[in-house]
């Protein structure tokens, strides 16, 4: 039996938002059992709060954004991947801006700081979502499939018509060791030729060689090159790991992703949750119907957080 975890002490992080280009201060605090991952916008009157769950995803173009009609927090996937990779179930993220700071474009700095703070085992079992039957979703040549499995195993393949990337595939069990050694350091990437278009759409305003792998016509422009020969697909694994944690609980499944991105990840997870015969909650103390209700619970727009 695995028990829930939180941080032993708070962690303060400062950085630039990848898309908004604004400096953001973020404090991640320990939280009690069954809190889940919650975000609090400290720069807005009333300190509105929102759970990091699938129900609260409002946008997933170029990044995953959670929010309400009143406020949002974007690019949550790298931070969520860190919570998932380190097995952190409960935390409160206080943030004074609209976007999680990009740091170096990966989860490496979040991982380092959380490990320095230490992890605290809590006195309640973890709740897992277990896949009971295969389910998939396709859009053109993109596909996401969930299959029954005893652990979380991700098999991700990409194929870009670019000489630097081409076809890449990563397949492996997503335990803490794999995350720390093979996934966490993989950075987000983008093409230099798309920068002007992204800027016109209010995106990548904070992107630089310090927080992304930038690809020119035939080479990587970062002076130090790549961290892994297949860093691009490893970052896609990082992205889907963060998106999957928006299910509100760790998942046990073989997840096969082909050329997919945030939008298809969210659609696949919604289809999974709507197909009640395809999954179950592992904790026998919690009924299946209660879980579905918990995942659908809307944000408490003006609620305070008690730790």
Fold category of 129-281 in CATH? lpxc deacetylase, domain 1 (3.30.1700)
pLDDT in the model for residue 75: 97
State the sign of the Cα–Cα–Cα–Cα dihedral 196, 202, 203, 208: positive
Contact 31, 8 (CB under 8 A): no
Residue 61 confidence (pLDDT): 86
Note whether 170 and 154 are within 8 A (CB). yes
Q: What is the DSSP letter of 186?
A: P
What pLDDT is stored for residue 260 in this prediction? 98
SS3 state of residue 263: helix
Q: Report the run of H or E that residue 284 belongs to, with start and end.
A: none
Superfamily of domain 3-126: lpxc deacetylase, domain 1 (3.30.230.20)
Chain region(s) in the chain for CATH 3.30.1700.10: 129-281
Per-residue model confidence (pLDDT) at position 237: 98
Q: How far apart are CA 80 and CA 48, in angstroms?
A: 19
What stretches in the chain show pLDDT beneath 50? 284, 286-307
Q: What are phi and psi of 213, to 5 degrees?
A: -85, 120
pLDDT for the residue 196:
78
Q: What's the angle, vertex CA 21, arms to CA 16 and CA 27, rounded to 5? A: 35
Check residue 289 and give its pLDDT: 44
Burial degree of 192 (CB within 10 A; 0-12, 13-18, 19+): exposed
CA distance linking residue 224 with residue 87, whole number of Å: 31
DSSP assigned state of 180: I
Q: Residue 79: its pLDDT value, please?
A: 98
What pLDDT, on the 0 to 100 scale, is given for residue 12? 98
Angle at CA 67, nearest 5°, toward 97 and 33?
A: 90
The residue annotated as part of the active site, out of 72, 78, 262, 265, is 262
Tens digit of each residue's pLDDT (9 = 90 or more) over 114-151? 999 999 999 999 999 999 999 999 999 999 999 999 99
* Ordered alpha helix ranges (H), the chain: 77-86, 108-117, 176-178, 195-200, 231-244, 262-274, 288-296
Q: CATH 3.30.230.20 residue ranges in the chain?
A: 3-126
Whether 262 is catalytic is: yes
pLDDT of residue 292: 46
77-86 and 108-117 helices, crossing angle to 10°: 40
227 phi and psi angles, rounded to 5 deg: -85, -30
**What pTM does this model have?**
0.91
């Amino acid at each position: 039996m695995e028990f829930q975890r939180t941080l032993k002490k708070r962690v303060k992080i400062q950085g630039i938002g990848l898309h908004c280009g604004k400096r953001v201060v973020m404090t991640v605090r320990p939280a009690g059992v069954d809190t889940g991952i919650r975000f609090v916008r400290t720069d807005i009157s009333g300190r509105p709060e929102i759970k990091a769950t699938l129900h609260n995803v409002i946008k997933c173009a170029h990044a995953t954004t959670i929010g309400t009609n009143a406020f949002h927090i974007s690019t949550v996937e790298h931070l969520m991947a860190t919570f998932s990779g380190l097995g952190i179930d409960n935390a409160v993220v206080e943030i004074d801006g609209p976007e999680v700071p990009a740091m170096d474009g990966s989860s490496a700095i979040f991982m380092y700081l959380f490990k320095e703070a230490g992890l605290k085992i809590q006195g309640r079992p973890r709740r897992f979502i277990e896949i009971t039957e295969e389910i998939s979703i396709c859009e053109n040549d993109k596909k996401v499939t969930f299959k029954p499995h005893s652990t979380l195993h991700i098999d991700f393949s990409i194929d870009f018509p670019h000489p630097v990337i081409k076809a890449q595939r990563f397949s492996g069990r997503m335990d803490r060791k794999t995350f720390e050694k093979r996934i966490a350091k993989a950075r987000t990437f983008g093409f230099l030729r798309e920068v002007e278009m992204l800027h016109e759409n209010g995106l990548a305003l904070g992107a630089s060689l310090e927080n992304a792998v930038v690809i020119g016509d035939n080479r990587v422009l970062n002076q130090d090159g790549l961290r892994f020969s297949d860093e691009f697909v490893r970052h896609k694994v990082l992205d889907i790991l963060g998106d999957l944690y928006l299910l509100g609980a760790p998942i046990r499944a073989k997840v096969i992703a082909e050329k997919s991105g945030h939008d298809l990840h969210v659609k696949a997870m919604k289809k999974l949750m709507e197909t009640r015969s395809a999954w179950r909650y592992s904790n026998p103390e919690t009924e299946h119907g209660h879980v579905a209700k918990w995942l659908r619970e809307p944000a408490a727009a003006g609620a305070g957080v008690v730790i």
